[in-house]
Chains A and B, each alone.
Chain A
Amino acid sequence: GAVVSQHPSRVICKSGTSVKIECRSLDFQVTTMFWYRQFPKQSLMLMATSNEGSKATYEQGVEKDKFLINHASLTLSTLTVTSAHPEDSSFYICSANRGDTGELFFGEGSRLTVL
């Protein structure tokens, strides 16, 4: 079964509004989660590393004021797209490690459409 749960799976919002996406680890705790954005032509871009109890680490070119990440507990990380614009429309995916096995477990993804 799923080990990482992501919600909502789809969201449509108006331009200028903010949208929050949640990512939960099920039955295990993590200090680090990763947020990816997938563009229409397939590529998966790492946006940021979410760190429990401290600030997220953003990749170069990702606006931290635009994409707010909060890792408030050992099982929950949230990504808030602030003042959304149509160009923010994309598929956002979170992931986490369980233990030290190396591979990532992914949420089901959230498709954001900004009108």
Chain B
Amino acid sequence: AQSVAQPEDQVNVAEGNPLTVKCTYSVSGNPYLFWYVQYPNRGLQFLLKYITGDNLVKGSYGFEAEFNKSQTSFHLKKPSALVSDSALYFCAVRDGNTGGFKTIFGAGTRLFVKA
């Protein structure tokens, strides 16, 4: 069974500063890893994913994430935060060995970017 942990309920950062939102995962097969963002009362939007290849993946809105197999982590980063980045961020994992598209989500981390 797969699981995802997002250890921080909330992350606060000043505009212009770098941000990191943490994620660790557990999966028995090959991990397919994703980040999604959610704005109030909306569905989730895809940001980026790691399936295979380079450990550093770049996604929408200047976000990137680094896959670290030894630490089973997939932290989301951005070099310079914007106030408009304030939202709820979800890390998710799928077991690439089992087939299908069942995806398990972390509990979410709320990001506040202060002007």
Contacts and interface: CB of A to CB of B under 8 A. Distances in A.
A104 interface: yes
Nearest to A109: B43
B101 A104 contact: yes
A106 B43 contact: yes
A43 B94 contact: no
B44 interface: yes
B103 interface: yes
A29 B102 CA distance: 17
Contact of A108 (B42, B100, B102, B110): B42
Contacts, number: 62
Contact of B44 (A41, A43, A106): A106
B108 A44 contact: yes
A58 interface: no
Interface bin, chain B: 20 to 34
A1 interface: no
Contact of A109 (B41, B46, B101): B41
Interface in A42-61: 42-44, 46, 49
A112 interface: no
A49 B102 contact: yes
B22 interface: no
Nearest to B48: A103
A105 B46 contact: yes
B97 interface: no
Contacts of B42: 108-109
Interface of A: 4, 6, 32, 34, 36, 41-44, 46, 49, 91, 93, 95, 97, 102-109, 111
11 contacts: A32-B100, A34-B103, A42-B88, A46-B102, A46-B103, A93-B44, A95-B103, A104-B36, A104-B101, A106-B36, A111-B41
